A and B are shown apart, each in its own frame.
Chain A
Amino acid sequence: MTSSSDLRSPSRTGAGLALRDATLGRPGAPVLEGVDLDVAPGEILTLVGPSGCGKSTLLRTLAGLLAPLAGDVSQDRHPLTGPAADRALIFQEDALLPWRTLRANVELPLAIKGLPRAERRRQAEDWLERVGLTEQSRQLPHRVSGGQRQRAQLARALAGAPRAVLMDEPFGALDAQTRAGMQDLLVEVLRGTGATVVFVTHDVDEALFLGDRVALLGNGRLTAVRDVPRPRDRTAHDDPARVALRRDVLTSLGT
């Protein structure tokens, strides 16, 4: 469907997620209506839209934390019934358990899977090394910087080997420089996991850099889904096709 898989060699297949004519929101307060969306296995789909447009609601529905008010939500053509280890969620901030060290946080999904202690420890150390937090693995979350906390969250989410990773403005609270570094890190650690990614952001440049496709939300609807030329290529920023898409996206967002 998209140009995704040249980047990664999926050893495990990502999950395919789909919404059919779905109305989303909290009971009595729908924020999105008539949403039809397919997320292909292994692709990175970014969701952009103004704040309050229902990006987080859509993500929480895909996670299984919110049931759709109408319509269907499915994973690999099976209806979603609730949250599962298959679909990890990464939050904007402060989702690490503050009483656990970074390593203990990363061990948590492994403990839930029932891995023996030594194996948990080994895998957690391994993931922390991949995100560059070996030094800080014994620290409590409030002792490290915001960027380090988000890296730990990334490690925690991926440690459970999910087939889909749902990210809710994970880099939104970081400064521009840290943010670019985190985007590169994300691309790097995703490599080989084969996981499908749905990435919510309000930053158009971030959406165009990371996404194989970008989905636009606004006025309570999913307004468009566009293919991104040359995703995850820093040099593509001035590519005419990319520039045109960027202009289109900004226009449709009304900014």
Chain B
Amino acid sequence: MTRRTPQRESRFTPRRPRRASRFALRLASLAAALGAWQLLAGLKVDLWLRFSQFPTVTDVARTFADRLAGPDYWTDLTDSLTRILTGFLLAAVLGVATGVLVARSRLAEDLLGPVLEVIRPIPAIALVPVAILLFPSNEQGIVFITCTAAFFPVLVSTRHAVRALTPVWEEAVLTMGGGRWRVLGSVVLPGALPGIFGGLSVGIGVSWICVISAEMISGQYGVGYRTWQDYTVVNYAGVFVGMITIGVLGWVTSTAVELLGRRLTRWLPRTSYIPGARTPRPARTAAASAPVSPTAKEEAPHDQLV
């Protein structure tokens, strides 16, 4: 531990801002944006762009606090999350399964390919009428639309990833006496995982767009529904609360997908260079003599890998 500290320092001599100062910079950027908003809306600036009707940051914050205290906000939140998670998980399973099938079997490609290619360009939200016709309840319709939205990015990226697999991996398993299921489980799925996660990341983003739009059109409860309701009753502060909620939820879910993906594809040669995985560099030489214990703890699993 103490042995490698000086080495670590010299390795990172190119000027990298410290973690704390980077964090401060980010906070400052956020604060500046909010401050500009508050000023423009508070002074009711009308210079071509019209801020006179805009709720101020404090208005929005007050409404947000009220909403958080009430029961509806949490119902909306769980409803939207249930819909997106159901739809997205279905899409992940179906997308990976179909993608593998289409990539590995010419018959499946001929049978499914044309249908999929025709449906793919249709924006999922345009399927609302179809969903209403097909499903007895709105709830199922929204899940269907969310699922369709995420399905295609997952399908396409899985198909590409499976086709791009190194053939010797499969040949190696075959000559060890492995059958088709062994090849699927030991080569195709793990090998395609980095590509699959690319599709999942795109998919979760598209899912949010579609779940919110579908809720706006046909939902009962849900963040999208609430946001649209607020708009129709001219509660602009409420609309902003809805938008912020959507933003935060989208960010949290896509980060979750991203982190899961990184964890599962840790074997990739590149993963060791993720900036987040680096231990903070001691700022001053004086501080270097007393490395903090969390640093050492963080490094232990990494060292095992090396």
Contact = CB atoms under 8 A, between A and B. Distances in A.
Q: Main SS of chain B's interface residues?
A: helix
Contact of B177 (A84, A139, A143): A84
A229 to B, nearest CB: 32
Contacts of B193: 99
Given A95-B171, A142-B269, 18 more contacts: A63-B175, A64-B175, A65-B171, A65-B175, A85-B177, A87-B175, A89-B171, A89-B175, A94-B166, A95-B169, A95-B172, A99-B267, A100-B267, A108-B173, A108-B176, A108-B186, A143-B306, A160-B176
Given A97-B190, A140-B305, A109 B177 contact: yes
Contacts of A83: 171, 174-175, 177
Interface string A139-175: 1101100000000000010001000001000000000
27 contacts: A63-B171, A63-B175, A64-B175, A65-B171, A82-B174, A83-B177, A84-B177, A85-B176, A88-B175, A94-B168, A95-B168, A95-B169, A97-B169, A97-B190, A98-B269, A99-B193, A99-B267, A108-B176, A108-B178, A109-B176, A112-B173, A112-B177, A112-B182, A138-B304, A156-B172, A160-B176, A166-B175
Interface of B: 166, 168-169, 171-178, 182, 186-187, 190-191, 193, 265, 267-269, 304-306
Most buried by B among A63, A94, A98, A100: A98
A98 B174 contact: no
A98 B178 CA distance: 18
Contacts of A99: 190-191, 193, 265, 267
Most buried by A among B174, B177, B269: B177
Q: Which 3 A-B pairs have the closest CB atoms?
A: A85-B177, A99-B267, A109-B176
A12 interface: no
Contacts of B268: 98
A66 to B, nearest CB: 10
Most buried by A among B172, B175, B267: B175
Contacts of B190: 97, 99
Interface residues of A, number: 31
Contacts of A108: 173, 176, 178, 186
Contacts of A65: 171, 174-175
A160 B175 CA distance: 10
Contacts of A89: 171-172, 175
A91 B168 contact: yes
Contacts of A91: 168, 171-172
A113 interface: yes
Nearest to B169: A97
B172 A112 contact: no
Contacts of A138: 304
A82 B183 CA distance: 15
A59 B178 CA distance: 19
A108 B182 CA distance: 10
Contacts of B176: 85, 88, 108-109, 112, 156, 160
Contacts of A142: 269
Most buried by B among A88, A112, A166: A112
A145 B259 CA distance: 29
Contacts of A87: 175
Contacts of B168: 91, 94-95
Interface in A76-131: 82-89, 91, 94-95, 97-100, 108-109, 112-113
Nearest to B194: A99
Contacts of B306: 139, 143
Contacts of B191: 97, 99
Given A91-B168, A95-B169, A99-B190, A143 B305 contact: yes
Contacts of B172: 89, 91, 95, 97, 156
A65 B170 CA distance: 10
A43 B175 CA distance: 20
A113 B177 contact: yes
